[in-house]
Amino acid sequence: MHPSTAMPDLSAAPKPIAAPAARPPRRLRGVLSLDDFETLARRHLPRPVYGYMSAVAETGASFDDNRAAYAEYGFRPGVMVDVSRRSTATTLFEETYAAPFGFSPLGLTALSSYRGDVVIAQAARAARLPMIMSGSSLIRLEDVAEQHPGAWFQAYLPGDRAALEALIDRVSRTAFKTLVVTVDTPVPPNSENTVRMGFSAPLRPSLSLAWQGLTHPRWLCGTFLRTLVKHGMPHFENNYATRGAPILSPSVMRDFSERGHLHWDDLRNIRRLWRGRLVVKGILRGDDARRAQDCGADGIIVSNHGGRQLDGAVAPLRALPEVVRACPGIPVMIDSGVRRGTDVLKALALGARMAFVGRPFGYAAAVGGLPALEHGIRLLTQEVSRDMAMLGVTSVDQIKAEEHLTLRRPK
């Protein structure tokens, strides 16, 4: 960690929201796992909006393998262990979190849920969990930092160096103290699956799009029209130091310019400019992880972008041990494919310090806002705690691959 880095004083920040209720709202009582939120979101959201959230690259090979990788590991539980005083608490970067999972960055969240990034920040802060805000947000990063000063900001680096430096300067003037640089998006991904679902950037008004809104009145009134009335037409707010284009503008694509010329010297320059904690996301190889560490990274997130970028990219869980071995001096984290408490524990056993969850919490925010997020956090925390008990451990740092995991034999 950079010597000048200091965690924000949360006592001076806005008063936290109330702790999660013991029981979810009635309409969420059938949600028994994170996967159940997707079923509700598919019904609640217009097809194009759901299509954007659920989209995978090309054939979905990476997305499918993200889940398959977790299934290939089995547990070797220890028995007759007193687990009555177990704790899911997790320490990362000298900060103690309530559980070993957090919120992955989710772009365009405010299109699927009213003030989505703000609501996620509120939920993460109240639950004492890490949260990464996406640079592809429709809400100003300053507004999110105000709600959760301990959150992290993910930057999609502008191709122009002056614009890059201006963006970093903007982030440095907020309460964000952790910058996450995503490095697996040198060019935009193949958009065929979002196009099939009717989503486009920019959004193009059409009879079909209007019909989707009218046939999903809860979303239309509770999210889209409410946003228009209270905040105006959504813009891409955080790709640059200045406000980006509105979501209906043909100039939107300029905010997603190719970054193919960026290289390791740019990361070194970011390290020079950024005085806080620097995390690099999108690493799948040990040699790249070492280069990132040599450039000044304080942490690594092993990720294939949830299967949204390069189809066929290796599942992060398969790459995790190599990256952990390559960077023993800094924390390694993981995202992509995490859905259950058992997934979290398998990732911890293989060396991850934190597992980040993306789409399921986005679906939760869409269908039920803050109460649904609280319910999802509670479900996953309970799974982690229950699975720890059955594994025979009382703290997350006791989970070891050599002791608790085995590879299943192929059929």
Active-site residues, by number, are 305
Q: Strand pairing of 277-283 and 299-302?
A: parallel
Please say whether the beta carbons of 367 and 374 come within 8 A: no
353 is annotated as contributing to ligand binding? no
Compute how many other C-beta atoms are within 10 angstroms of the C-beta atom of residue 401: 18
CA angle, corner 236, sides to 184 and 310, nearest 5?
Answer: 20
Strands 277-283 and 178-182: parallel
Confirm whether residue 358 is marked as ligand binding.
yes
Was 405 annotated as part of a binding site? no
Residue listed under structure tokens 């059409």: 206
Is 303 annotated to bind ligand? yes
Residue 398 annotated as binding? no
Backbone angles phi, psi at 293, to 5 degrees: -65, -40
134 labeled binding residue: yes
50 marked ligand binding residue? no
172 annotated to a ligand binding site? no
Is position 342 annotated in a ligand binding site? no
d(CA 355, CA 380): 12
86 is known to lie in a ligand binding site: no
- DSSP element (H, E) containing 405: strand 405-407
> Token pair for residue 97?
């979190």
Per the CB < 8 A criterion, the answer to whether 290 and 214 are in contact is: no
225 annotated as ligand-binding? no
What are the binding residues?
A: 52, 105-107, 134, 154, 156, 182, 281, 303, 305, 308, 335-339, 358-359
Annotated binding site for glyoxylate: 52, 156, 305, 308
Which residue ranges make up the annotated binding site for FMN?
A: 105-107, 134, 154, 182, 281, 303, 335-339, 358-359
